[in-house]
Amino acid sequence: MVRALYPGSFDPVTLGHLDLVERGIALFDSVSVAVAENSQKSPVFSVGERMELLREVLPAGVEVTSFQGLVVDYCTQHDYGVILRGLRTIADFEFEYQMALTNRHMRPDVETVFVMPSADHSFVSSSLIKDIVRNGGDVGSFVPELVERRLREKLQN
């Protein structure tokens, strides 16, 4: 049984993230989503809020968890054989490739699998979405309705 972990900040979760989860579900026996607790960032949503949003918008059966530290260590501790990552741009590839090789060096038993999003979601980023909301723009085609509503509550009040 191949268990995949899709780690990220998910601040906020986008339709691109959901697209990647759906693609992962088709490839692996199970897919879990893990919210990274990164003290270096200043997220809009707390880890708990991001986990709650993910649980509400992800398909049934997708586990949502959080982690601190190295994702490969988390994978080893929780028996995930695959790290699922999305590639939108060449810049993503360069960063993700370097990370995947580093992870492989540390934990050769954990494989990284790159999946490309659908073209509809290939240009969307969480930071771009936050910028649009801060400036009163419409992000309905980029995030689930619940996420847009909560983003507006956080960023426009």
> 33-82: per-residue pLDDT in tens?
999 997 677 899 999 999 999 999 999 999 999 999 999 999 999 999 99
Cβ atoms of 113 and 26 closer than 8 Å: no
What average pLDDT does this structure show over 3-19?
96
Each residue's pLDDT tens digit, 104-151: 999 999 999 999 988 888 888 899 999 999 999 999 999 999 999 999
Q: Name 64's bridge partners.
A: 33
Provide long-range contacts, Cβ within 8 A and 24+ apart, for 55-60.
56/146, 57/13, 57/18, 57/144, 57/146, 57/147, 58/18, 58/21, 58/33, 59/21, 59/22, 59/25
136: left (phi over 0), alpha (psi -120 to 50) or beta: left
Please confirm, yes or no, whether 17 is among the known catalytic residues.
yes
Of 39, 41, 42, 105, the catalytic one is 41
The answer to whether the predicted template modeling score (pTM) of the entire model surpasses 0.85 is yes
d(CA 67, CA 75): 10
d(CA 117, CA 14): 12
Of residues 141, 138, 4, 10, the one with CA closest to residue 74: 4
Of 17, 23, 50, 130, the catalytic one is 17
Please confirm, yes or no, whether 105 is among the known catalytic residues.
no
Of 3, 9, 30, 88, the catalytic one is 88
Of 23, 50, 126, 150, the catalytic one is 126
Please confirm, yes or no, whether 88 is among the known catalytic residues.
yes
| Domains located in the chain, CATH noted | 3-155 (3.40.50.620)
